Structure 1
Amino acid sequence: MISRTPLAAALAAAFLALGAPLAAQTADAPVVPEQIEAADVTETQVSAFVDAVMAVEKVRLDYGPRIQAEEDADKRKALAEEATLAAQDAIENTEGMTTAEYLGIGQAASGDRALNERIIAELQERQGDAEAAQDEAEPDSEAEPQAETDEDEGNTQSE
């Protein structure tokens, strides 16, 4: 369970890092967060929100180092604006989620511990599922030597 905390923290940071710029003026128009009561957020919305947070995290991982490495202030600002638009696209391409709803749920979660915990639980569950899938995909390097050890033990016991 402890290993899951960094993911939740990283995803929360992604929300905070890119959520505020999303609420700011974009090329088209300002994004106004939807007014959402924490108690009204469904499990379907939590799931879609987590999908969107994970998509935004990918954008943050892509753009963050590039923005930090850029020494020219104008180029850094342009990259940050590009990242904001990429994050907005990632959210809008998430099934069942709009940018306004994403921001609204994020605001509701920041003021409601129960909703925040539901979101974190979903994030942790997804990370656990991802870790399990990764473990299944990796070859088990201990399986064959263990089999040889069992055979060796069987031979020794036959004597």
Structure 2
Amino acid sequence: MLFTKPLAVPFTALALALSAPLALPAMAQEATQEAPGPSINDEQLQAFVAALREVDAIEQRYGASLNEADSEEERQAVITEANEAMVSAIEETPGITVQEYLEVLQQAQADPELNARIMEMLQG
């Protein structure tokens, strides 16, 4: 993704995919297989940005724990806990669902203009 923090989005996508092993990858695959995504209005983007800020804060909180984990088991425990927190944060953000969040995230990876709009909103 073109966000200025390159590690944040891949961790988010990975974490979200791991949080619901059956449902989220299927949703992500469906979104990827569709033709170019629908136009995203400013209200949807504002909800996405609000959720992204929450997810980023969660990533920051759990990032150090993940790096300090001594075993794969500890890493998985941290990832699981972070995943649950991220999914909850997205679900609690008005105006967006986890599926919509993933769809916007995927569209932003493929669309530099959408990515630029998101970056502008994050900086504002």
Question: TM-score scaled by structure 2?
Answer: 0.82
Q: Spell out the pairing of 1:3-22 with structure 2 (5 A cutoff).
A: 9-10=4-5, 13-22=7-16
Identity, in percent, stands at: 30
Partner of 2:23: 30
Partner of 1:114: 113
Partner of 2:43: 44
Deviation at 1:23?
2.5
Distance between the aligned counterparts of 2:11 and 2:71, measured in 1?
Answer: 20
Distance between the aligned counterparts of 1:13 and 1:45, measured in 2?
Answer: 24
Matched residue SS, 1:40: coil
Partner of 1:65: 64
Distance between the aligned counterparts of 1:71 and 1:83, measured in 2?
Answer: 17
Judged with a 3 Å threshold, the aligned counterparts in structure 2 of structure 1 residues 25 and 17 are, in CA distance, closer, same or farther, namely closer
Distance between the aligned counterparts of 1:83 and 1:49, measured in 2?
Answer: 18
Distance between the aligned counterparts of 1:120 and 1:40, measured in 2?
Answer: 17
Unpaired stretches in structure 1, ≥5 consecutive residues: 1-7, 126-159
Partner of 2:88: 89
| Structure of greater relative contact order (alpha carbons < 8 Å, 6+ residues apart) | 2
Unpaired stretches in structure 2, ≥5 consecutive residues: none
Amino acid at match of 1:99: V
Judged with a 3 Å threshold, the aligned counterparts in structure 2 of structure 1 residues 97 and 110 are, in CA distance, closer, same or farther, namely same
Deviation string for 1:61-102 (max 9, x for gaps)?
A: 111101111112211111111111111111111111111100
Larger Rg over CA atoms: 1
Distance between the aligned counterparts of 1:13 and 1:19, measured in 2?
Answer: 10
Distance between the aligned counterparts of 1:98 and 1:14, measured in 2?
Answer: 19
Q: Which runs of 4+ in 1 moved over 6 A?
A: none
Kept after mapping to 2: 8 A contact 1:59/1:87? yes
Matched residue SS, 2:8: helix
The count of aligned residue pairs is 116
Amino acid at match of 1:22: L
